[in-house]
Structure 1
């Protein structure tokens, strides 16, 4: 009877997962999704304009109307603004600039060697936590971490006599569910803050968001998620899997002496660069600080993207020269060019996202929805932190069908960022709430393009593994990360801990 009940539960669960997969597969890819949304905005603006809708934005007495993209003025805007919408879209320049440095470090092998060396040098008792921690840091290599960390973690577990699927699950959890966290400012910070700034620029005098505005919260998140992920692996996932009897023989290549020397040289270069940067900041009347000698705001904060780019160029070059991958100056440009090729799909996506956001803002539909939503919440006396928690839960659910973090934030930010701003919440605070939800469910959605790839890695150890097998393996991580991360988020709120330099809950 128990087995029958278990089978029925598994069947219902499988049907639920299959339903999500079918619905998700019917959605177009992110580029076409935003093309479709842009068309809907055009049609919606024409429909709403028939009713002469007007509203007043908080803090202003000016009457604002919904503008019609199907009017002569609207058609002129769409035709003449395409290039400006794309080239002037803030995240585009930020991300491409960051990737010049991060991409170089990735292409010469520095990031992969660092990941491999971090796991292999960890004491056996700490291997689980090293895998989770390394996976979280792996977002420095962007999506490349999805194909580096999980299979490497599985081999590490296998070679120390533990179940390889537990290692694979831990690696996937760190990379996927912890994707947005890190102990240093990463590419994700640049992408999301760029979209947030783009949205908030349409409100006069509104606070903007910089790549460091969630930094403090993400540092603590990295440590907390590492502990949570390690406990889930050792207390839930690994006991459930039991002893591995697959009879498979797999080995991995350890870090070579030359690669270790490259890491040492990269570390030396990093220390020198950071020391010089600290010296420049501490220098009397430093041009990197503001006129009052402070750091918030300052040229240092405003210029954090090129500063980070130069950091990765320096350590990547130091490593590349040591391992003989960089032989001359042309090699550096070549590797940077290869990194830019990998960004082609992102550039294509951003073209569609930039047009959608521009149309949404020009018509004033986004502001209208935000003002209306804020007014409704105020009239219903729902302006407290509970509304933000509901936003986290909604985002976690939406992430099941809209996987891309940049795409989903591009979809949500024009409405929710403004709505919460009108309720006096800082946009960087709401962005942090979004990041909690967006990352937590990355590992349980078939819309994640790397879900199938991880499933392929899984089949190397278990030929019978399927979608439900991987989903069941990852659900404990997803649920735990969402709960623990939300509690950490609330702790920051209740204790008044800044989410980044000078960033609190309210504007």
Structure 2
């Protein structure tokens, strides 16, 4: 190999950045499993609520204007609440039903092979000059298949680059950047939207019981983000990564698995079925007086937006069945629930995590600690005259840093939302806007955190082309994507905010 990549694993003196990553890895590895972390946090809330309550602390509820006291969870009333509410906290936790319903549809599409075939088709059929953009686009929208894109897109992109005479590691890096750092963006409503919006609603209703954050509330911005990530990612790949790598002169026996004729027919039939479904939904939404409009004939709010999750679920079921029947994956009606069951097996870890997270959030809200912290923090920021959108940007940067230590996006949002959503609401920021700021920071650093379990998978793919590559090699390739994605995202976020553009119809930066 004419241009061997540096193996930055423990040989020689490490750079300051590599030493920092070593610290991140050591600290992160000492953190307990997210489930246990939420158990510890729930215990901490119990202790803190007892201590603060003992001092007779009260706070004026910003929604009702009533004075409420901090309630101790280590009391007769508190212990009864813990026992009585445990099951309701879990089964009534808004993200649980939303995410499971979404994943029934998306999981079916993944199990029959529709999502994987679509990703391969997009990359393999792209014109040579647009291959980099196709790789990034496929990686970004691949979060429909959750983590599957992190396993499918990088090695496929490496093979495509290799077949075109370009450095395969540049393709692998672009694919990993799109699927990892672009995980939260999409032109479709995905499971991430349902998961985060459910947590946001659960927390926001402690301030305003009528406020709902829907899965579509970040759609405008996140759809535009797909285009931004493609452009910025292509710039990084072609102007920074490929010049850094130089010419690849290795000889690797890698063949591309082409799309078969039956898979092409499956994609065509899925497209037809999807268009027919969208046409039927349009008839229920677009005409004046349509049943999915509100009583005044508008769309914000409306039964259409309130029912967006089942509508999206049925869309994915429709296209998945059309594809599955065509390619022979679905031969009998019983195959459909069996595939859905397989998809649900992958959600078992999420369900376990949600049980603990739901208890933590419920205890935090019941004790009134969340309101007290939010009001106190908001008053402090107002006294310091720190209420502009740049405070929200600071929150994004904090999120990006914490993501190095807590890789699970849902776990991190469940941890941060009870504190920051009420605080920013008191500063007149819409919780969907705060959620948007969180998603930018959380997504950008996914590809450089040593706690990302897929880093080992990507490193294994990398060593097929560069046997001496180590973690330092991978991080040195991925860091430019993180910095450029985060920087570009923040700039667009600021421009979007200063122009007062909505992040979805009826939802902007401000609550009012």
What interval of TM-score do these two structures reach, taking the shorter chain for normalisation? over 0.9
The residue aligned with 2:3 is: none
TM-score with structure 1 length normalisation?
Answer: 0.97
CA drift at 1:201 = 1.8
Please state if 1:497 is matched with 2:508.
no
SS in 2 for 1:443: coil
Q: Is the 8 A contact 2:159 2:255 kept in 1?
A: yes
Aligned pairs, how many?
Answer: 502
Q: Distance in 2 between matches of 1:59 and 1:271?
A: 44
Q: Which residue of 1 aligns with 2:61?
A: 57
2:427 is aligned with 1:423: yes
Match of 1:319 among 305, 323, 331: 323
In structure 2, the partner of 1:124 is 128
- CA distance change for structure 1 residues 91 and 71 in 2, over 3 Å: closer, same or farther? same
Is this contact kept in 2: 1:66–1:363, CA < 8 A?
A: yes
Matching residue of 2:76: 72
Structure 2 Cα separation of the partners of residues 146 and 179 of structure 1: 9
Structure 2 matches for 1:180-219, cutoff 5 A? 180-205=184-209, 207-219=211-223
| CA-CA distance at 1:283 after TM superposition | 3.5
Q: 2:48 aligns with which of 30, 44, 48?
A: 44
Q: Tell me the equivalent position of 1:297.
A: 301
Shift of 1:44: 1.4
- Distance, in Å, in 1 between the alignment partners of 2:63 and 2:34 is 35
Distance in structure 1 (CA, Å) of the matches to 2:153 and 2:87: 38
Deviations 1:219-248, CA, capped at 9 Å, x for gaps: 111101110001100000111011112322
Q: Distance in 2 between matches of 1:288 and 1:8?
A: 65
CA shift for structure 1 position 460: 1.5
**Does the 8 Å contact 2:63/2:208 carry over to 1?**
no
5+ long unaligned stretches in structure 2: 1-5
Contact in 2 for aligned 1:42/1:70 (Cα 8 Å): yes
Q: Secondary structure at the match of 1:182?
A: coil
Tell me the distance in 2 between the aligned counterparts of 1:190 and 1:173. Answer: 23
Aligned to 2:270: 266
TM-fit CA distance, 1:344: 0.4
Change (3 A) 1:195 1:34: same
- Once residues 208 and 505 of structure 2 are traced to their aligned partners in structure 1, the CA distance between those partners, rounded to angstroms, is 22
**Mapped partners of 1:14, 1:269: distance in 2:** 50
**Counterparts of 1:436 and 1:172, CA distance in 2:** 17
SS state of the match for residue 209, structure 1? Answer: coil
| Matched residue SS, 2:334 | helix
Residues 93-147 of structure 1: CA deviation (Å, up to 9, x unaligned): 0000001110000000000000000000000111001000110000000111111
Structure 1 pair 502–61 and aligned structure 2 pair: CA distance change class (3 A): closer
Contact 2:407 2:452 in 1 (8 A): yes
Match among 383, 386, 390 for residue 390 of structure 2 = 386
Residue in 1 aligned with 2:368? 364
Give the Cα–Cα distance (whole angstroms) in 1 for the partners of residues 83 and 461 of structure 2: 47
Over the aligned positions, Cα root-mean-square deviation in angstroms equals 1.3
2 CA distance for matches of 1:465 and 1:367? 49
